[in-house]
């Protein structure tokens, strides 16, 4: 019950923060489309994607490894942090040079090279922020990464929208993104050093150990980032900047909706998976199943609503006729969202039991599949083909993950929940379609409200959420409301948790 209380506490904090950051990101994306247009939006989206495609090793595996190992041995927090930052800084210097060289060799125009230069610096700042976030997650102090992200996304959206209204160009937007990232990194670093202390020492043995253990993560990151981002490069080479903009407009929404698995799995449940993996297989399987249930309950209706209401969504978001081309992109990406949510649980399970080499095999298979299918579908179907390949790749990863996860950890009980959610979502999608095309209601907020009411009502009638889960959640929330604060005599970790709860 104590662990459930912490999960509820961190989930509530994260959901509130995510609501703010998601709204901020959505508003800024709308502003990009309306003020920059499809071509300039395509330039910015390409620059961000290109930097991520080349700079993947900076993020690949180090954060997960740090969270897992520090969660199991908290006394190593400062050692892991300082040496991980050193590794990332060194890698960034090499990769940043490679990024700048490649843009010149590939013959991209000066404006895009300028954007890539700025976004490359943002890559380093974001990586530093993510390192501190991984350290906070290891101690289950979710509030500090959440507030840091609120600062980043909120201020970026505020200043970005104001500057766009004043006629700012796309380079200014790149600097705004950099500024938000720096604020996030500074906030998280300040709180981490305040709560844990400050020391920086180079430990060559630990660096070698981190690098050795990170090899499967890095390989997975290499392969994963390629099959997630290479489609944008293919589109830039095979089509036009406008097509990249149409695809980017849809993919930005897809990226934004990935917040739930990032929140529930990476930020909250993954440290718990790591701890349970060395203590209790039964409790680990239960945690995996409950996480899967929640993500299925959220992802399937999101998919159904996107497919049914995409014209209304795109019309509201971008408000420009050229972005009508984004409608089939979002519809093709929607199933991939469900597969990605499920994959996040299964991949975290493999990593928590130290079978990360299997996810490397998964990524290698997915890469071959993704590259081959992109080369076939992009010349024929352009941005829609790229979106279809993304969803099919996620489906392939899900199929392989089910084979690789040990049978005693597979959340088989989630199948029953998934079927009920699918039925409720299908009914919701039908009502949404009728609302738009028969009743001619096109206000996105009205349509969304009707969809939510229909889905929740149908899910309740079907008994989608198990009664015991609702009871456990109720008692955890009730206990949180009547909890007595820890005494001043607790050690530093307890003081940190007390600070978290006050904030």
Q: Which residues of 362-373 are buried (b: 16+ CB within 10 A; e: fewer)?
A: bbbbbbebbbeb
Residue 484's pLDDT is 37
Tell whether the model's pLDDT for residue 146 goes beyond 60. Answer: yes
Tell whether the model's pLDDT for residue 407 goes beyond 50. Answer: yes
> HSE-up of 3 (CA within 13 Å, CB side)?
11
Residue 143's pLDDT is 82
Instruction: Name the one residue in this structure whose structure tokens are 């980043």.
Output: 152
Q: DSSP H helical segments within 257-280, as ranges?
A: 259-261, 270-276
What is the pTM assigned to this prediction? Answer: 0.69
Residue 382's pLDDT is 93
- The candidate with the shortest Cα–Cα distance to 383, out of 171, 241, 182, 207, is 241
- CB-based contact 402:350 (threshold 8 Å): no
Quickly state the pLDDT bin for 128 (edges 50, 70, 90): very high
- Cβ neighbours for 38, distance < 8 A, ≥ 6 positions apart: 241, 242, 245, 246, 249, 320, 322, 323
- For 211-227, the DSSP string reads HHHHHHHHHHHHHHHHH
Residue 4's pLDDT is 52
Residue 115's pLDDT is 94
Residue 423's pLDDT is 96
What whole-number distance in Å separates Cα of residue 398 and Cα of residue 409? 15
Quickly state the pLDDT bin for 92 (edges 50, 70, 90): very high
- CB-based contact 468:484 (threshold 8 Å): no
Which range has the top average pLDDT, 59-63, 199-203, 240-244? 240-244
- For 98-120, the DSSP string reads HHHHHHHHTT--HHHHHHHHHHH
DSSP 258: T
Quickly state the pLDDT bin for 7 (edges 50, 70, 90): low
Residue 470's pLDDT is 55
Beta carbons within 10 angstroms of residue 233's beta carbon: 17
Tell whether the model's pLDDT for residue 3 goes beyond 60. Answer: no
- The candidate with the shortest Cα–Cα distance to 125, out of 191, 65, 182, is 182
Tell whether the model's pLDDT for residue 433 goes beyond 50. Answer: yes
pLDDT tens, position by position, 26-71:
888 888 888 888 888 888 988 988 888 777 777 766 787 788 778 8
Q: Which residues of 74-104 are buried (b: 16+ CB within 10 A; e: fewer)?
A: eeebbbbbbbbbbbbeebbeebbeebeeebe
Residue 124's pLDDT is 93
Compute the average pLDDT of residues 95-104: 91
- Cβ neighbours for 335, distance < 8 A, ≥ 6 positions apart: 303, 391, 394, 395
Compute the average pLDDT of residues 293-318: 92
For 275-284, 395-404, 408-417, which range has the lowest pLDDT when averaged over its residues? 275-284
What whole-number distance in Å separates Cα of residue 335 and Cα of residue 120? 31
Tell whether the model's pLDDT for residue 271 goes beyond 80. Answer: no
Of the chain, the percentage scoring pLDDT greater than 90 comes to: 38
Residue 486's pLDDT is 38
Higher per-residue confidence, 210 vs 450 = 450
Tell whether the model's pLDDT for residue 332 goes beyond 90. Answer: yes
* Measured CA distances, 232 to 100, 363, 396, 496 (Å): 18, 18, 20, 43
Quickly state the pLDDT bin for 118 (edges 50, 70, 90): very high
Quickly state the pLDDT bin for 184 (edges 50, 70, 90): very high
Identify how many contiguous H helices and E strands the chain contains and give both numbers.
18, 0
Quickly state the pLDDT bin for 296 (edges 50, 70, 90): very high
pLDDT tens, position by position, 451-495:
999 999 999 999 887 666 655 544 444 544 444 333 333 333 333
pLDDT tens, position by position, 280-293:
788 888 888 888 99
DSSP 36: I
């Amino acid at each position: 019950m104590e662990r459930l209380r912490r999960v509820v506490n961190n989930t509530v904090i994260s959901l509130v923060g995510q609501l703010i950051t998601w709204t901020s990101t959505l508003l800024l994306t709308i502003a990009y489309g309306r003020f920059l247009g499809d071509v300039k939006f395509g330039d910015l989206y390409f620059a961000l994607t290109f930097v991520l495609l080349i700079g993947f090793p900076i993020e690949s595996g180090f954060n997960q490894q740090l969270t897992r190992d520090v969660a199991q041995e908290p006394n190593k927090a400062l050692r892991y942090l300082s040496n991980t930052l050193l590794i990332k800084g060194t890698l960034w210097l090499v990769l940043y040079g490679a990024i700048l060289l490649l843009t010149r060799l590939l013959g991209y125009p000066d404006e895009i090279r300028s954007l890539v230069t700025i976004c490359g610096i943002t890559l380093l700042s974001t990586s530093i922020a993510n390192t501190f976030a991984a350290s906070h997650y290891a101690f289950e102090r979710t509030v500090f990464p959440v507030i840091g992200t609120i600062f980043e996304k909120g201020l970026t959206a505020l200043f970005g929208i104001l500057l766009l209204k004043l006629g700012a160009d796309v380079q200014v937007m790149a600097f705004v993104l950099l500024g938000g990232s720096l604020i996030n990194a500074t906030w998280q670093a300040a709180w981490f050093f305040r709560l844990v202390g400050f020391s920086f020492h180079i430990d060559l043995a630990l660096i070698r150990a981190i690098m050795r253990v990170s090899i499967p993560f890095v390989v997975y990151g290499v392969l994963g980032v390629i099959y997630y981002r290479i489609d944008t490069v293919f589109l830039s080479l095979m089509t036009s900047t406008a097509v990249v903009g149409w695809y980017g407009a849809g993919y930005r929404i897809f990226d934004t909706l990935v917040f739930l698995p990032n929140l529930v799995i990476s930020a909250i449940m993954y440290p718990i998976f790591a701890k349970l993996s060395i203590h209790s297989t039964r409790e680990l399987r239960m945690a995996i199943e409950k996480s899967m249930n929640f993500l299925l309950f959220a992802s399937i209706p999101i998919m159904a609503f996107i497919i049914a209401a995409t014209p209304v969504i795109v019309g509201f978001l971008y408000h420009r006729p050229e972005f009508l081309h984004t409608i089939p992109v979002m519809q093709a990406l929607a199933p991939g969202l469900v597969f990605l949510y499920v994959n996040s649980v299964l991949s975290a399970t493999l990593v928590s039991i130290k079978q990360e080499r299997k996810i490397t095999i998964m990524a290698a298979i997915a890469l071959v599949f993704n590259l081959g299918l992109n080369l076939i579908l992009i010349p024929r179907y352009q941005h829609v083909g790229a979106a279809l390949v993304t969803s099919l790749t996620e489906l392939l990863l899900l199929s392989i993950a089910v084979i690789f996860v040990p049978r005693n950890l597979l959340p088989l009980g989630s199948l029953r929940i998934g079927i009920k959610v699918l039925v409720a979502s299908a009914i919701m999608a039908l009502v949404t379609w009728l609302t738009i095309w028969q009743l001619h209601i096109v206000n996105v907020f009205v349509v969304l409200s009707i969809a939510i009411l229909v889905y929740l009502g149908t899910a309740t009638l079907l008994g989608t959420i198990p009664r015991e889960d609702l009871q456990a959640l109720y008692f955890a929330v009730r206990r949180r409301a009547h909890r007595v604060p820890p005494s001043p005599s607790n050690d530093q970790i307890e003081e940190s948790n007390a600070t978290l709860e006050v904030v």
